[in-house]
Amino acid sequence: MPDDTGVVRLYPPSPRRGGVVFALAEDVATPTPRCTWKSAPMPCYRTTDGILLTIPLPAEEDAGTFTLTVERPGGRIVRQITVDDHAFGRELIFLTDSLYKRAASPREIARDARAVNSSLSVESPERRWQGRWREPVPGMKSTGYGVERYYYRATDSTRSITLDTQAKPRGTFAGDTSDAPSPGAPSWRHAGIDLPAKRGASIIAPAAGVVVDVGEYLLSGRTVLVDHGQGVVSAYFHLDTATVAKGDIVRAGDRVGRVGSTGLATGPHLHYGVYLHGKDVDPVAWRDMPQWMIQQRPDSAATDRR
């Protein structure tokens, strides 16, 4: 099959680990769009302007140059995209005995992760949101996404702790790390950003969607997950109160909960996460999407996922 030199809009110009690649193959009209990233199928959707992809670049995956393909009648569009490296840093977190017990409970963590992941991986064919995404609490900044966090008892804070330069976190926060090596301190890569806020402060939905989970989990505490369609799910951890129920339809600006410190949290704050096709990305990278992404409208002739 010959390659096609079609026009593809790509954003940002220099993507990096932790971010998102927004891609639009312009004027491609096919009833069954098929796309690949790194030679694996990647969900893509028909819009009135062409074929749209949102490619997650989670911190746990390597930098490098990778191949994007978009199939089209009589050929395919191929692009090589270079993903830059990025250092996310490390942190030591000291916990009370009761919180440390949570961090050192792999069986319960794995049980919770299986429940949460089933909701984070939904791929609803309809895009439910319009317009630029809002901030769930005021003052959102990209701090803490991807950082490697190592957890110790508070009593360990009086001694010198040295991390091996080769040490790796067991996996993503609130993910299933039951199969990961367990020597040393409990550790996870942070899969969202922590937004400081007072206990009880309102948390709003940044965009329209459907609530797919409201639960109580060991690490993430009181949790709300919202499906925004086409593989985009937002996550809200450590809530004091959830003000929605599973199945509720929310609009941008609707309150979904109140800030708290439930689960593995040392004080009131909101852990806010964005997941694309089941993989976490920096929520700020998602919020800062290009205007042409916001303007896309689904092609009414085809809403099925491919």
Structural domains of the chain ordered from first start: 3-86 (2.60.40.1590), 90-287 (2.70.70.10)
Give me 294's structure tokens: 């916001």
pLDDT of residue 284: 94
Q: Which residues of the chain fall short of a pLDDT of 50? A: 301-306
* One-letter identity of residue 27: D
| pLDDT tens digit sequence for 243-262 | 999 999 999 999 999 999 99
Helices (H) and strands (E) in the chain, counts: 4, 21
- Quickly tell me which residue has 């809530």 as its tokens: 239
Give me 73's structure tokens: 């009648």
pLDDT of residue 195: 95
| pLDDT tens digit sequence for 185-201 | 889 999 999 999 999 99
245 near 175, Cβ under 8 Å?
no
103 near 186, Cβ under 8 Å?
yes
pLDDT of residue 305: 40
Q: What is the pTM of this model?
A: 0.92
pLDDT of residue 180: 59
pLDDT of residue 139: 81
- Compute the distance between CA of residue 189 and CA of residue 146 in angstroms, rounded to an integer: 6
Parallel, antiparallel, or unpaired: how do β-strands 3-4 and 75-83 relate? parallel
